[in-house]
Amino acid sequence: MKNRLFLLTAVLSSFAFVACAPVDGPGASTAIGGQTGYLAGIRTSTGYDGSANPNESSSFWDGDGVQGSPKIRINLAEQRAYYYKGNQLVGVSPVSTGIEGRRTPKGSFKVTQKSPDHKSSLYGVIRNVATGEIVNDDADTRKHRAGPGEVFERAPMPNFMRFNGGIGMHTGFLPGYAASHGCVRMPDKMAKIFFENTPIGTPVIVE
């Protein structure tokens, strides 16, 4: 118990869709095992690696074996997600939420769908089939169509948990600020933990 309290205090002291946005930053559209890393933003040759996200070191989880009903609170100002079991805070993760004009709506919601290998129904990239070159790294199915010799690749959103219409939490790139079209991006490591511990119906409070 003392170790848990020490770790929790240390982490907290360091804190002073489907509509989701494309990855920001260099190399955002490179491939992962033949698929685009467009939304996942974790661009290694072997797969998803949460350490590729900024602020991964500020993540915290100590909820294994803890009893109590789960609840997730997302603080937009802090760009943090807090995981509770009962009244006990057991996890904290950095997040990246919606940009100006597409802000993640505040309110009280519940997880309504879970999909471990989800892909965006709206966003992705358009790639030249012959060369592999990405010709549009912010493609929208409502506006853009793949031309001759091109393919539309839908953005991957692993560990997706829908809680408000098209908005959900999922693995994604964290540039250190709000950067999505409304979804809540998380480092892959924490997105997996949240996904595994969250049943359908879990309350999600965005504030």
Q: Which residues are catalytic?
A: 170, 183
Residue 188 corresponds to which amino acid? D
Cβ distance 196 to 91 under 8 Å? no
Q: Distance between CA 196 and CA 207 in Å, rounded?
A: 23
Cβ distance 70 to 84 under 8 Å? yes
Side-chain-facing half-sphere of 120: CA atoms under 13 Å: 35
Q: Distance between CA 53 and CA 44 in Å, rounded?
A: 12
